[in-house]
Structure 1
Amino acid sequence: MKTLLQTAIALLVVLPLLSWADSISTERRSQQQNLMQTNKVQSAAVTQSYQSEVWFHSIDISLARDDNYNGYFHQLYVEFDADTEYSYHQVFAELSLTPDFGSERIYYTSSVFELFGESSNDWLGIETDLQHRYPANFYLLTIRIFDANTGYLLAEASGYDLSALDALTLEDYQRDQIQSSSSVEVSAGTTGVVALLTLCLLLFRRREQK
């Protein structure tokens, strides 16, 4: 009973924080080392700003959820496969968005994940729903990979290097809502005039009775 109470209290604390978060992200990754991925854009060499013993092998971007049909989406999916010159390397990734004439904002930092040499089965996918503070704009995406032990930057790719990561048409969920307007129609036809005359007649008779 005590455990259930503690869990309920934790949910009451966490859920409001999630609802006010600027973005909500979910990680996806390969669960089977022998599973071959076919939905990524493969490239022998992805142009990138910086690389060391780790580099990007492929990056796949997709946009979804344009609820108000204005051409700007609030859901962003980023999937990438990185390689390393080592047989095993623990890393984490950082993703950021930069609007036109604005400052860079880090919207997600991943958990630690493993790279296995040049395997294509150690990919990481991050699905993000932008919630607040992202007005409709063209955004530049930057992906950075850091060493999990030292925190050193190992690889970086952005819209400055790849056109697919530049000019992403995004806006947050709040701005992507369909605006509905209600109007009250006032009729000034024959029925409205008759009703008005009837009301005036009733008021006149009441005054005479008094």
Structure 2
Amino acid sequence: MSSWANSVSTELRSQQQTSMQTAKVRSAAVNQSFQSDVWFHSIDISLARDDNSNGYFHQLYVEFDADTDRAYRQVFAEFSLTPDFGREHVYYTSSVFELFRQSSNDWLAVETDLQHRYPANFYLLTIRIFDANSGYLLAEASGYDLSALDALPLEDYQRDQVPTYSRVEVSAGGTGIAMLLGLCWLLIRRQEQVIG
């Protein structure tokens, strides 16, 4: 589990079960703008937790399977979100994991709770895979290439709270008015005594 100032993410591998049991919102065969001997085979996205029912979610689950021409490759992945008319924010960088040719058992998933600084907006998701040894970019897929990664309706947990209202009761009765009049009368009497 990795924690970033504005989100909390849990990394899952092909050997682990996911705790997020929501229907997949988007699933796609992947077109990508950049690839080398590594490419995305599939990307699945699920959104969950719209507590205030405004259509924006604060949990994001991204699972992908990547392939390589090589027998074995150590890589790491970077996940970022870009709001409409805003800057890109890297919200998670994975640990090193391995790709084995076209195996379907080398997938990686990241489950994220957006905590702070994500106003309700439509976000573009970008996933990049880097070589673990050199740091070179090997593959990239984003909402520019694939509509399933674009316009994700997200907001942070703090903005997704259901508003709570507190009641304040104010009452004025005969006793309250009588006390106020009595205090005014005492104040006037005291001023008369000081003057006279």
Check whether TM > 0.5. Answer: yes
**1:99 alignment partner AA:** P
Residue in structure 2 matched with residue 117 of structure 1 by the alignment = 101
TM-score (norm 1): 0.75
**2:76 alignment partner AA:** F
Measure, in 1, the Cα distance between the counterparts of 2:178 and 2:133: 86
Alignment pair present for 1:75 and 2:72: no
Overall identity of the aligned pairs, in %? 77
Measure, in 2, the Cα distance between the counterparts of 1:161 and 1:185: 57
Measure, in 2, the Cα distance between the counterparts of 1:76 and 1:203: 62
Residue in structure 2 matched with residue 99 of structure 1 by the alignment = 83
Give, in angstroms, the shift of residue 179 of structure 1: 2.1
Taking a change above 3 Å as real, the CA distance of residues 81 and 183 of structure 1, as seen in their structure-2 partners, is: same
1:42-66 per-position Cα deviation (integer Å, ceiling 9, x unaligned): 76x5111111101101100011111
Q: Which structure shows the bigger proportion of residues in strand conformation?
A: 2
TM-score (norm 2): 0.80
Measure, in 2, the Cα distance between the counterparts of 1:121 and 1:159: 25
Alignment pair present for 1:141 and 2:108: no
In the TM superposition, structure 1's runs of 4+ consecutive aligned residues that sit over 3 Å from their partners are 39-43, 185-188, 194-204
Question: Is contact 1:42-1:57 (8 Å) kept?
Answer: no
Q: Which structure shows the bigger proportion of residues in helix conformation?
A: 1
Residue in structure 2 matched with residue 174 of structure 1 by the alignment = 158
For structure 1, the residue ranges without an aligned partner over 5 or more in a row are 1-17, 33-38
Choose which of 40, 43, 46 in structure 2 pairs with 1:56.
40
For structure 2, the residue ranges without an aligned partner over 5 or more in a row are 17-22, 187-196
Question: How many pairs does the alignment contain?
Answer: 179
Give, in angstroms, the shift of residue 70 of structure 1: 1.5
**1:109 alignment partner AA:** T
Measure, in 1, the Cα distance between the counterparts of 2:180 and 2:126: 71
Measure, in 2, the Cα distance between the counterparts of 1:42 and 1:176: 25
